[in-house]
Amino acid sequence: MGSMPTSHFSGLAAPPRDEIFELLGQFRRDTYPERVNLSAGVYCTDEGEPMPLQVVRQAETAIYQAADPHRHDYGAIEGDAAFLALARDFTFSTACSADRVVSVQTVSGSGANHTGARFLADNLRPRRVWLSDPTWVNHDLIWQTVGVAVHYYPYYNAKTRSFDFDGMVAKLEAEAEANDVVLLHACAHNPTGLDPTQEQWKAIAQLCQRKSLFPFFDNAYQGFASGDPDHDAWAVRHFAQLQGPALEMGVAQSFSKNMGLYGHRTGAFHLVTTGEGSMSAARESITANLAMIVRSEFSMSPRFGSDIAKTILGSKALTAEWYTELQVMSSRLISMRKALYDALVRLGTPGSWVHIVNQIGMFSYTGLTTPEVVYLRQKYHIYMHSSGRISMAGLNTKNVEYVASAIHEVRSNPSVMTSA
């Protein structure tokens, strides 16, 4: 018998593995009793367990009891129109008229980012996209896959552990060109937890307007960051209501964090147009082009998560309950920031840690180096990203002292290399 032919794929290089999911797998295989997962961005209770929101449970019950005979049918390619209208209004409120916004349902925030990126790559044809340095790891991958050159603007000042507003503006002023896409985090910047002030947002908006840049917001944490959805949407709404000239922009929206619908993949992509003149024909064309992208990639979005979101957003009573739960979640994250900071200060841990309480949202850029992170994982079974980013949701009253003590030990140990 002849030898087996060589596979077409035998020389295929393996891409880098996703670090967050790799760490999650390691954590799940770890049997150490005091292991701590600070890697994945999943909200947990003070007992370290997942927390389905009560309002989500009520919505699930209502959907089950309604027993809609069409609940398992195919939906429209562009998504559930009622859900999309509610998601749009949750994002923009009255910042711009509804006829300026074209929306399609997506597979959560990743799908929204990719659908928007694909549409812009095909139709705006930007020379480059500008991402913050650092940014959510999937942003790089998404824009690379649609063939747009990825460039970076400064965002994090490692020395001061603060937002580098001056560096960001200087870079975009000097190098960004008309029709370049600028990706912005609407609130609770991932991974740094550092957001521009409202005055800084105004300056960024003016820069985009003056240089004809195309803003693209990733809106993954609205309501989850501060507990106030209107506060968290301030930047998006400010950009949307600018006049002379009005800005066109994209918004990728996710309900994974703020409704805890991680596995249901519930999101939307919103394209804000200028709205000048008669837009009805243009809206139909935009919708058709977005729908073609959806059809080619996943045909249509999952419906159960959007049914949950639609049930909550469509009820004043349930929305009020949801807002209360958002405040509870954001308050717990804030309290964990303070608890970790207080413990590090009390221990006299070398370095300044005030940035932990100055940041916002699910993540904190701790300033821990990669060797320190590796040491913490190997000796203390504390899992976090190699950048030193931690998920505050993984801290609780039972493990925060353990984590603080471990950080204190690694920072006080001269045998651990403290620079990457």
Active-site residue list: 136, 218, 257
Write the Ramachandran bin of 277: left for phi over 0, alpha for psi from -120 to 50, otherwise beta: left
What is the distance between the alpha carbons of residues 238 and 205, in angstroms, rounded to a whole number? Answer: 8
How far apart are the C-alpha atoms of 60 and 77, rounded to whole Å?
23
Mention every residue, 6+ apart, whose C-beta is less than 8 A from residue 31. Answer: none
Eight-class DSSP state of 393: G
Question: To 10 degrees, what angle do helices 198-211 and 165-175 make?
Answer: 0
- Rounded Cα distance between 27 and 189, Å, is 25
Q: In the chain, how long is the greatest CA-to-CA distance?
A: 76
d(CA 225, CA 195): 11
3-state secondary structure of 152: strand
Residue closest to 191 by CA, chosen among 406, 38, 15: 38
Nearest to 411 by CA among 380, 334, 67, 235: 380
Helix (H) or strand (E) holding 249: strand 249-254
